[in-house]
Amino acid sequence: MKNLTKLIVLTALLMSFALSAKVFCDAESDCFYVPAGLKNSGKYFPALIILSCTGATERDLNSVLYIADSLGMVFATSHKSKNHRDIFLNDKDIMNTYEKLVRDYPVDGAQVFIYGFSGQGVQALMELFHNPKIFRGVIAVCAHKETISMAKWQELDDKSLYLISREKDWNLGDNKQMHNLFHFNNIQDTLVITPGEHMAATPRELFNACFWLLNKIKH
């Protein structure tokens, strides 16, 4: 009987945790996730905005929630930003996501990062170059160098960039060039090259990227 009582209490606690950690999606289809342990703490935490080539959704959060839980981060998706759309329209909608994120959630406005793959990796880089006072760093996977001309090097001295490419990625050369430019201009960055073709980050790669970015803040 005692063991049964303990099991019931444990189940109730686990159900309570799952409910309190639920992803919330608003009327604009932007989604937000705050790990249960961060809620009502009275503190502010790093955050990551996730982009997708087809418009990020709740599904894009579900596979990476453990990263937010493990690293103590708030995650969000910006739904309207997508490929084959004007980059400044995307920027407007990403900034709208950002404003909701820092207004409504326990987020440290000085520690907001942005992540994108391929065309949205380019968009993520553009966000950092265009809004250096807003974003602390970027994770860009298999992106090309189209927006590098927007970079104002003197405004990026406290930023961090995590680039991922593949041995058979058609943008590998661009990633090497960007990495060299960041290094030449004393911008904190790293380039990770893995086997494979043009493809998005795995959850493990995204974890490693977030971990690297958070460690750079501490130094």
Q: pLDDT, tens digit, for every residue of 85-110?
A: 999 999 999 999 999 999 999 999 99
User: Rounded to whole angstroms, how far apart are CA atoms 154 and 35?
Assistant: 35
Question: Residue 95: inside a domain, yes or no?
Answer: yes
Residue 157: inside a domain: yes
Question: Do the Cβ atoms of 161 and 182 come closer than 8 Å?
Answer: yes
Distance of alpha carbon 121 from alpha carbon 101, whole angstroms = 20
> Structural domain of residue 125, as residue ranges?
30-218
Q: Is the pLDDT of residue 47 over 70?
A: yes
Q: What is the number of domains present in the chain? A: 1
pLDDT value, residue 97: 98
Contact 113, 137 (CB under 8 A): yes
Averaged pLDDT, 164-181: 98
Give the separation between CA 158 and CA 67, rounded to whole angstroms: 24
Q: Does 13 fall in a domain? A: no
Residue 158 covered by a domain: yes
Q: Does some domain include residue 112? A: yes
In angstroms, the CA 68 to CA 210 distance is 9
Select from 159, 123, 130 the least CA-distant residue to 144: 123
**Residue 75: CATH number of its domain:** 3.40.50.1820
**What is the pLDDT at residue 37?**
87
